[in-house]
């Protein structure tokens, strides 16, 4: 992946824009007042987390990605913006060297092998005689439908030691490739290799952007240990940086603005089938900061639904600790006991805990009675109440030392709560449980404030290298380019090779009553820089168009040149290039106009949080114009593109 894609994968557009614009959720998107023109009445600025873009539906009528936002906000050129965002993302800018290209290509090959392995496992579950009993186990005992089994792509690894190894050898893959993607393991006592997964149910594990990373596997025989086995650490698979199910549940999580964290694969799958499609699993490990940072891109509301045993309680407390370190904090001005003003960080998250019946897993409860699971979720305790109950259960609360230990753990959590009324309620609750004066908790709080600041600085100095490693691990979660970026890049590459085709494209657009090509058709900051050069190349006569573009291209965008041959092949006719250009541009504009219509409709709804009443006529006119544009685009798409 190139530097630009890595930056986009690491910086959440909502977080970035929230540093400048106060945003409020509106459906799955966010709205606010545009920072680029004077307006205090109508929040017509919309951020789209799914596509990583923003747009002003008011006076500006502009949009783009994180690069375009910073370029417009700061007045910087692309290289300046790239350096700023790279520093913010913790990425060292390096050119895409031949070695790096080779490494990227190898990772893609490994992911492709895993896709083939999935077909192999799926075949053995659905079309092999030995898979019938496994399929019966999934449908009869686990109560999973065939549709759910298909949705989660479940498979079966046959019980032979070398079935998979032989299959992939015959496909032409090397031992190194199969070891590197975690499918085979080298024998310790003699020469050769054997299959890592044997006689197990297979759970494919993808990252949030659908890329195959590895597998989880459940033993079918009680004699096979461990019960659950995952892929080993590979170039693609790092269990601490993945959440099982996020590839399928990220959109529902964003829609309902809540995530449920459960223990296992079957919990995620069973809840999904029962209509609760917002669950993820850390796959048997304690929550990590990288996992929590992944999750916070979609929601700040989390319910922990872990086992009620001691291990589950420990995991719950660990999850809270990770959340406090990983989730965002907001500053709150307070008076300390001496009357001095200072700021305190408040945790920008709502974390709750489910109480599960003993011996029952979430998938069992939900599949048996969805209403029961719904009630369990509704009764989820605030994390502080849960921690107070957990720490005080079975303890001698008359012992001053016990009181001090519990208070020292709970008071920092209370201080994290952003709402002052809730903080007071929790202090009162803790004071009642410990049978102490509430004012004593304030004293504890002040001592901890001073010591925490000192210890935090020491911790940062001590663990800076560890944080760097965590950040590097997070960089492995590179996204597949979204549809809009792919279309924009294809359009730009076509014109890079044939800039003079802009004239033919504009004639075609005019013929269909559509606006000519402009910079606003490309919203990705890096690609917009290239399109600007393409349009400038037509206004000069000193150099050939492609040579002018190449000579003026910023260093960090020269990677585009290596992809030119993929879009325009030798012998391609002008008509075919024009057809490709027109189809690509029409699709781009259609996606954007549909998004515009949807958001203008939302902005006019009376139940909108901002209670928009002014500028309604402006929105109505904008909406009518957008609908007319969509009709023209649909008409152009349905008519012959060339030769008429």
Question: Which pLDDT value is given to residue 639?
Answer: 73
Q: Which of 300-314, 484-498, 547-561 has the highest mean pLDDT?
A: 484-498
The 3-state DSSP class for residue 157 equals strand
CA distance 10 to 13: 9
- 226 prior amide bond cis, ω within 30: yes
Q: Is the pLDDT of residue 25 over 90?
A: no
Say what percent of the chain tops pLDDT 90: 30
Q: What is the DSSP secondary-structure string of 413-468?
A: HHHH-S-HHHHHHHHHHHHHHHT--HHHHHHHHHHHHHHHHHHHHHHHHHHHHHHH
The mean pLDDT of 55-64, rounded to a whole number, is 85
Tell which wins on pLDDT, 469 or 489: 489
Q: Is the pLDDT of residue 412 over 90?
A: no
pLDDT band at 314 (very low <50, low <70, confident <90, very high): low
Say what percent of the chain tops pLDDT 70: 81
Least confident range of 111-115, 127-131, 284-288, 543-547 = 284-288
Which class in CATH covers the domain with range 3-89? alpha beta
Structure tokens given for 230: 């995952």
pLDDT band at 341 (very low <50, low <70, confident <90, very high): very low
CA distance 105 to 109: 6
CATH 3.40.30.10: does it fit domain 111-235? no
Average pLDDT, the chain: 81
Least confident range of 125-129, 478-482, 605-609 = 478-482
595: number of CA atoms within 13 Å, CB side? 22
Question: Which pLDDT value is given to residue 597?
Answer: 83
The mean pLDDT of 473-491, rounded to a whole number, is 58
Does residue 531 contact residue 520 with C-beta atoms inside 8 Å?
A: no
The 3-state DSSP class for residue 485 equals helix
Q: Which of 121-135, 283-297, 610-624 has the highest mean pLDDT?
A: 121-135
pLDDT band at 464 (very low <50, low <70, confident <90, very high): very low
Question: Which pLDDT value is given to residue 126?
Answer: 95
Reported as a single tens digit per residue, the pLDDT across 569-587 is 666 788 888 888 898 999 8
Tell which wins on pLDDT, 570 or 29: 29
CA angle 449, 455, 458 (to 5 degrees): 145
Reported as a single tens digit per residue, the pLDDT across 155-213 is 999 999 999 999 999 999 999 999 999 999 998 877 889 999 999 999 999 988 788 99
Q: Is the pLDDT of residue 475 over 60?
A: no
The mean pLDDT of 61-76, rounded to a whole number, is 89
CA distance 248 to 48: 19
The mean pLDDT of 323-344, rounded to a whole number, is 42
CA distance 49 to 30: 8
Q: Is the pLDDT of residue 444 over 60?
A: no
Write out 400-427 in H/E/C secondary structure.
HHHHHHHHHHHHHHHHHCCCHHHHHHHH
Q: Specify the fold of 483-638.
A: DNAb Helicase; Chain A (1.10.860)
Question: Which pLDDT value is given to residue 338?
Answer: 34
Tell which wins on pLDDT, 589 or 29: 589
The mean pLDDT of 81-105, rounded to a whole number, is 82
Angle between helices 483-497 and 545-552 (to 10 degrees): 120
CA distance 455 to 460: 9
The mean pLDDT of 87-98, rounded to a whole number, is 78
Structure tokens given for 4: 């630009």
Reported as a single tens digit per residue, the pLDDT across 175-190 is 999 999 999 999 887 7
The mean pLDDT of 310-317, rounded to a whole number, is 57
Residue 281 has what DSSP assignment? B
Q: Is the pLDDT of residue 374 over 90?
A: yes
Question: Which pLDDT value is given to residue 550?
Answer: 83
Q: How many CB atoms lie within 10 A of CB 383?
A: 26
Q: Which residues pair with 55 in a beta bridge?
A: 46, 63
Reported as a single tens digit per residue, the pLDDT across 536-561 is 988 887 888 888 888 888 877 877 77
Q: Is the pLDDT of residue 642 over 90?
A: no
Question: Which pLDDT value is given to residue 165?
Answer: 94
CA distance 411 to 417: 10
Tell which wins on pLDDT, 576 or 482: 576
CA distance 447 to 197: 53
Q: Which of 1-15, 46-60, 208-222, 345-359 has the highest mean pLDDT?
A: 208-222
In the chain, domain spans: 3-89, 111-235, 483-638
The mean pLDDT of 445-468, rounded to a whole number, is 43
Structure tokens given for 610: 């901002």
């Amino acid at each position: 992946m190139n530097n630009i894609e890595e930056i986009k994968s690491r910086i959440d557009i909502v977080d970035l824009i929230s540093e400048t614009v106060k945003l409020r959720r509106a459906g799955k998107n966010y709205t606010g007042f545009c920072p680029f023109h004077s307006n205090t009445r109508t929040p017509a600025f919309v951020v789209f987390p799914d596509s990583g873009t923003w747009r002003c539906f008011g006076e500006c009528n502009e949009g783009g990605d994180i690069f375009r936002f910073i370029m417009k906000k700061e007045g910087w050129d692309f290289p300046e913006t790239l350096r700023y965002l790279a520093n913010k993302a913790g990425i060292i800018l390096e050119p895409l060297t031949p070695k790096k290209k080779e490494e990227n290509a190898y990772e893609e090959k490994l992911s492709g092998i895993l896709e083939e392995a999935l077909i192999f496992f799926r075949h053995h579950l659905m079309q092999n005689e030995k898979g019938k009993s496994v399929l019966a186990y999934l449908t009869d005992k686990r109560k999973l439908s065939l549709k759910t089994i298909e949705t989660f792509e479940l498979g079966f690894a046959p019980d032979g030691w070398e079935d998979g190894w032989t299959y992939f050898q015959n496909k032409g893959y090397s031992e190194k490739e199969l070891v590197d993607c975690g499918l085979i393991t080298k024998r310790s006592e003699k020469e050769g290799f054997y299959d890592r997964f044997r006689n197990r149910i297979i759970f494919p594990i993808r990252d949030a952007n659908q890329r195959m990373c590895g597998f989880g596997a459940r033993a079918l025989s009680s004699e096979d240990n461990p019960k659950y086995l995952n892929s080993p650490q590979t170039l693609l698979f790092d269990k601490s940086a993945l959440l099982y199910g996020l590839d399928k549940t990220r959109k529902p999580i964003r829609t309902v603005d809540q995530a449920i964290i459960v223990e296992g694969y079957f919990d995620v799958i069973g809840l999904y089938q029962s209509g609760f499609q917002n669950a993820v699993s850390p796959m048997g490990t304690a929550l990590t900061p990288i996992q929590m940072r992944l999750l916070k891109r979609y929601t700040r509301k989390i319910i922990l639904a872990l086992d009620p045993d001691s291990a589950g309680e420990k995991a719950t407390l660990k999850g809270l600790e990770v959340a406090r370190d990983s989730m965002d904090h907001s500053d709150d001005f307070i008076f300390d006991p001496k009357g001095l003003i200072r700021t305190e960080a408040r945790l920008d998250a709502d974390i709750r805990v489910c109480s599960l019946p003993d011996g029952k897993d979430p998938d069992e409860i939900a599949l048996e009675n969805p209403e029961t699971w719904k009630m369990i979720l509704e009764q989820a305790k605030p994390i502080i109440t849960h921690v107070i109950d957990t720490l005080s259960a079975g303890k001698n609360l008359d012992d001053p030392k016990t009181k001090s230990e519990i208070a020292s753990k709970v008071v920092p959590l209370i201080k994290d709560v952003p709402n002052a009324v809730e903080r007071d309620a929790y202090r009162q609750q803790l004071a009642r449980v410990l049978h102490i004066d509430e004012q004593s908790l304030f004293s504890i709080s002040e001592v901890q404030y001073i010591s925490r600041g000192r210890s935090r600085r020491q911790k940062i100095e001590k663990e800076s290298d560890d944080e760097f490693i965590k950040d590097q691990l997070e960089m492995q979660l590179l996204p597949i380019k979204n549809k809009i970026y792919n279309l924009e890049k294809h359009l730009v590459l076509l014109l890079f090779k044939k800039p003079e085709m802009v004239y033919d494209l504009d004639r075609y657009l005019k013929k269909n009553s559509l606006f000519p090509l402009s910079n606003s058709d490309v919203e990705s900051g890096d690609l917009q820089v290239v399109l600007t050069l393409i349009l400038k190349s037509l206004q000069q006569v000193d150099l050939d168009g492609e040579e002018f573009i190449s000579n003026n291209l910023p260093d960090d965008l020269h990677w585009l040149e290596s992809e030119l041959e993929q879009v325009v092949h030798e012998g391609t006719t002008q008509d075919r290039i024009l057809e490709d250009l027109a189809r690509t541009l029409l699709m781009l504009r259609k996606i954007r106009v549909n998004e515009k219509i949807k958001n203008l409709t939302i902005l006019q709804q009376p139940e909108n949080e901002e209670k928009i009443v002014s500028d309604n006529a402006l929105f109505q006119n904008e909406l009518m114009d957008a609908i007319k544009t969509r009709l023209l685009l649909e008409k152009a798409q349905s008519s012959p593109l060339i030769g008429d």
